[in-house]
Amino acid sequence: MKQKRHWLLPLIFALLPILIAWFFGAELLSWSQKLKGPLRISPLLLGALLLLALPIIPALLFNQIRLFLVALLSVAVLLMAEGSLVQVGPVSLALLPPLVAVLVVVLTYMRERGLLNRFGLIRLAVVVAPLLLLIVLDGPLAQLKSLLASKLPAVLSGPGRGSTTYISLLILAVAGGLLWRLRGTEFHAVAPCLFSVVLLTYLGLDGALPIWPKAAQGAARPLAMSFAGLSLLWCAYRLSWGRAYKDELTGLPGRRALEERLAGLAGTYAMAMADIDHFKRFNDEYGHECGDDALRLVASVFESHAPGTVYRYGGEEFTFIMTGQTPREFAESLDLVREKVAAEKLVPRKNKGEGKPEALHVTVSFGVSGPSAQHDTPHKVLGVADKALYEAKRLGRNRVVMIA
């Protein structure tokens, strides 16, 4: 999945509750009221709580404490907004969405270090303490708002008939920007989902916003928070899938993904093995950080320019699979990729000598093969591609060698 597509589903999660409210909101409210008597709780609220609780188990199983705490935060916020946990005034309710935005950003920027240790307790306190403080200061905050309302009415007012203020919207925008700037192999899965949770909290806790139909305002909160739970669940799935199938250093599909692809490969295809030339020199002369940077640089060029699908095979080796092309056509395409890699410059983070670090050139050798009468299985083709790679090394490196 391309990185930009990670934003697609969280965006859909943010839009769906609004569409459901417009087309089915009145019917949902009527159905919920009929069942509320026997259940003693609104089915819509119960569904939202269940969906918010679902990500908790996979988050704990895969040690994603960030998702675990955000899910707990969302449950607490929903119960506070509904008055089920504690009764708070309209000022505290209006402060909950920006508070969630701030806490989600803080939790995201804090490193994952588990839960059952002092770092985990600190992260838990980051979530619990502001909520408790908001409950304790509920009365004084209402008085402060009354005082400021006459001084700064334009700042405290909002764009519509709801309680969302311009300051709150500014915090939402800043939170979105900070999440967008996150980096790391898991950023593209985590940040969109967490921003979706923040946005849905804004939309759901202020049911009087103009985007919600008046006839379905009572369904806005549980609908929005239900999809916040789905967004967190999707994030937990993406992270668990990524850790199983993606290489952590480069972000490319890893060995397990390659093995599953080989098992189902058939028809016309070509395969290649690639290896970074003189990779040991990067580690020995400039440190393992430079070696990691070289791997990331090469992987980035491969992902941007290489045809087919590229996998990190292990160490400094990569595997390419291209369906619908002959080995010769694939070799010609990979030769252009080889030139792209050779044109890149790598500046080591540290240099054992004195002065400004020198810019290094990274080159890659390729071995290409395809199925034949003698090599009729993907694993055999991969073995021939590996032999072609060693031939490219023997001939001087930085070249593409094909063995049909």
Q: Over the stretch 46-74, which tens digit does the pLDDT of each residue have?
A: 999 999 999 999 888 888 888 999 999 99
Tokens for 303, please give them. 């992902």
Whether 277 and 232 map to the same domain: the answer is no
Long-range contacts of 297-302 (CB under 8 A, 24+ apart): 297/341, 297/344, 297/346, 297/362, 298/341, 298/362, 298/364, 299/250, 299/251, 299/252, 301/337, 301/340, 301/341, 301/344, 302/252, 302/274, 302/337, 302/341
Same domain, 285 and 384: yes
Is the residue at 136 inside a domain? yes
* Average pLDDT over every residue of 255-275: 92
Is residue 240 one of the residues assigned to a domain?
Answer: yes
Q: Which residues are catalytic?
A: 316
Highest averaged pLDDT of the listed ranges 149-153, 295-299, 349-353: 295-299
Residue of 196, 187, 9, 192 lying closest to 109 (CA atoms): 187
Residue 11 lies in a domain: yes
Tokens matching residue 68: 């675990």
* Residues 232 and 276 occupy one common structural domain: no
Same domain, 241 and 262: no
Boundaries of domain holding 86: 3-245
In a domain, 123, yes or no: yes
* Domain-ending residue, one of 245, 272, 289: 245
Assigned domain for 227 exists: yes
Least confident range of 4-18, 197-211, 217-231, 300-314 = 4-18
Identify the CA nearest to 397 among candidates 276, 314, 306, 295: 276
> Which residue has better confidence, 93 or 322?
322
Going by C-alpha positions, the residue among 337, 351, 352 that lies closest to residue 302 is 337
Q: What is the mean pLDDT of residues 248-264?
A: 90
Q: Same structural domain for residues 226 and 279?
A: no
Q: Where a domain ends, among 183, 210, 245?
A: 245
pLDDT of amino acid 1:
41
Mark whether 282 and 232 lie in a shared domain.
Answer: no
Residue where one domain finishes, among candidates 203, 223, 245 = 245
Q: Are residues 219 and 273 in the same domain?
A: no
User: Residue 327's pLDDT is what?
Assistant: 93
Helix (H/G/I), strand (E/B), else coil: 146: helix
Whether residues 213 and 274 share a domain: the answer is: no
Question: How confident is the model at residue 239, as a pLDDT?
Answer: 83
Candidates 275, 248, 244, 268; CA nearest to 258 is 244
Higher local confidence (pLDDT), 36 or 274: 274
| Mean pLDDT, range 293-307, rounded to an integer | 92
Q: Is there a single domain that holds both residue 215 and residue 276? A: no
Residues 210 and 49: beta-carbon distance below 8 Å: no
Q: What percent of the chain has pLDDT over 70?
A: 90
Domain membership of residue 105 (yes or no) is: yes
Say whether both 118 and 230 belong to one domain: yes
pLDDT at 391 over 80: yes
Residue 145 · residue 71 · CB < 8 Å: no
In this prediction, residue 20 has a pLDDT band, given cuts at 50, 70 and 90, of: very high
Cross-strand pairs, 319: 273, 311
- Is the same domain home to 138 and 19? yes
Lowest mean pLDDT among 15-19, 193-197, 241-245: 241-245
> Per-residue pLDDT tens for 374-385?
888 999 999 999
| 102-111 residue pLDDT tens | 999 999 888 8
- Mean pLDDT for all residues in the chain: 86
Determine the residue type at 403. I
Cβ contacts of residue 71 below 8 Å, gap of 6+?
52, 53, 55, 56, 59, 229, 232
Dihedral class, residue 384 (left if φ above 0, else alpha if ψ from -120 to 50, else beta): alpha
Average pLDDT over residues 301-307: 91
Contacts of 373 (CB under 8 A, 6+ apart): none
In this prediction, residue 281 carries a pLDDT of 86
Residues 241 and 259 in one domain: no
Chain segment 120-169, per-residue pLDDT in tens: 889 899 999 999 999 998 888 777 777 666 655 555 555 555 667 778 88
395: domain CATH number?
3.30.70.270
Domain count, the chain: 2
Q: Note whether residue 161 is domain-resident.
A: yes
Could you tell me if residue 250 is inside a domain?
no
Sorting pLDDT into bands at 50, 70 and 90, what band is 2? very low
